[in-house]
């Protein structure tokens, strides 16, 4: 299990968030069967999502999602986190690889290629606030710092690192984000910049000194002070980090409602059921014929078969947006079902 630390430095002029994500990145590697460079890419993105969630999210019900769409062989990636240290993510092409950089490091930038970074913040009222910026380097840390400045007007520094060894196992992974508060004295910013210029790599620091020692090194002369997280209910004075997906057997079954009844019957006849794989975590759900045939309550377009309405087990209802179906027919819900919609 990983962990998140928070604190202040430079007499309160620097806001600091740091994370050790070694265990959750290794879990992601195993769940998705990632290549070494894909592991580094997703690991950095998951770590970055955790750091930004601490910096940007305002309420417990919010979530933050990073989406990187690139022209490289990875095809893009997605990472989602909340303020409680829960994170999940996936890449489009988990086996994709790229040659090492000239310095011998994993070439995440080439694996992603040119593209864009999109940051979605899911608000408590269900709205999604989205910002998109072009990728600066594709190495993710620089891209997140660029996003914070361009979209949030927050001058920041972001350090991310994933080191693999052996057959691709994650040896160490983590990150540090520093937010410069408004009105920070020039000497504080100059000292921070000098300290960061002296960091030869985040993963060597994490491997040698651990998370606390890494923060002491980065904020030498700036008086780093950890935040007392016990006041927020964290007895160990740190926020635990877990790879946690929101999939379930019920959601897997619900995904089949978007197939027509005839297509679902074909699944039963040809395969004896259905197999649904969660793209977020790789969990496999094998659904029986009885479960599949229980999906009989939906309302569909009589012309094209598109799903119009489906009552969920939790009492909520899926309903097509707008008054027209994708085929152009007017959406007409039977009177006995309108109350559900």
Residue 277 has pLDDT above 90, yes or no: yes
Average pLDDT over residues 229-255: 91
281 Cβ contact list (under 8 Å, min separation 6): 31, 88, 90, 243, 245, 247
pLDDT in tens, 101-155: 988 899 999 999 999 999 999 888 778 899 999 999 999 999 999 999 999 898 9
Residue ranges of domains in the chain, CATH in brackets: 2-243 (3.55.30.10), 249-338 (3.90.1280.10)
Confidence band, pLDDT 50/70/90 cuts, at residue 340: very low
> Do 197 and 182 contact (CB within 8 A), yes or no?
no
Share of the chain above pLDDT 70, in %: 95
Mean pLDDT of the chain: 91
Q: Give the predicted TM-score (pTM) of the model.
A: 0.87
């Amino acid at each position: 299990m990983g962990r998140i630390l928070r604190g202040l430095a430079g007499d309160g002029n620097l806001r600091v968030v740091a994370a050790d994500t070694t265990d959750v990145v290794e879990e992601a590697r195993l769940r998705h069967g990632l290549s070494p460079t894909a592991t580094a890419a997703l690991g950095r993105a998951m770590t970055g999502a955790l750091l930004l969630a601490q910096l940007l999210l305002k309420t417990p019900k919010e979530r933050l999602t990073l989406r990187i769409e690139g022209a490289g062989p990875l095809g893009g990636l997605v990472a989602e986190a909340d303020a409680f240290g829960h994170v999940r993510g996936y890449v489009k092409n988990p086996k994709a690889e790229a040659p090492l950089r000239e310095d011998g490091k994993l070439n995440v930038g080439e694996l992603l290629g040119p593209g864009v970074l999109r940051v979605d913040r899911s608000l408590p009222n269900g709205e999604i606030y989205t910002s998109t910026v072009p990728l600066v380097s594709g190495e993710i840390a620089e891209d997140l710092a660029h996003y914070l400045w361009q979209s949030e007007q927050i001058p920041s520094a972001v350090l991310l690192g994933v080191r693999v060894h052996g057959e691709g196992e994650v040896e160490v992974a983590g990150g540090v984000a520093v937010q410069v508060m408004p009105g920070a004295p020039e000497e504080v910013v100059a000292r921070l910049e000098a300290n960061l210029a002296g960091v030869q790599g985040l993963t060597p620091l994490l491997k040698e000194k651990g998370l606390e020692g890494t923060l002491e090194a980065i904020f030498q002369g700036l008086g780093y002070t950890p935040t007392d997280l016990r006041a927020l209910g964290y007895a160990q004075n740190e926020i635990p980090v877990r790879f946690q997906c929101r999939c379930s057997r019920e959601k897997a079954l619900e995904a089949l409602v978007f197939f027509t009844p005839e297509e679902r019957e074909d699944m039963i006849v040809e395969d004896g059921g259905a197999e649904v794989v969660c793209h977020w975590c790789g969990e496999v759900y094998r659904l029986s014929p009885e479960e599949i045939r229980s999906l009989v309550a939906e309302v569909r377009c009589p012309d094209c078969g598109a799903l119009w309405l489906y009552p969920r087990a939790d009492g909520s209802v899926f309903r097509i947006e707008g008054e027209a179906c994708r085929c152009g027919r007017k959406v007409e819900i039977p009177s006995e079902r309108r109350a559900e919609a």
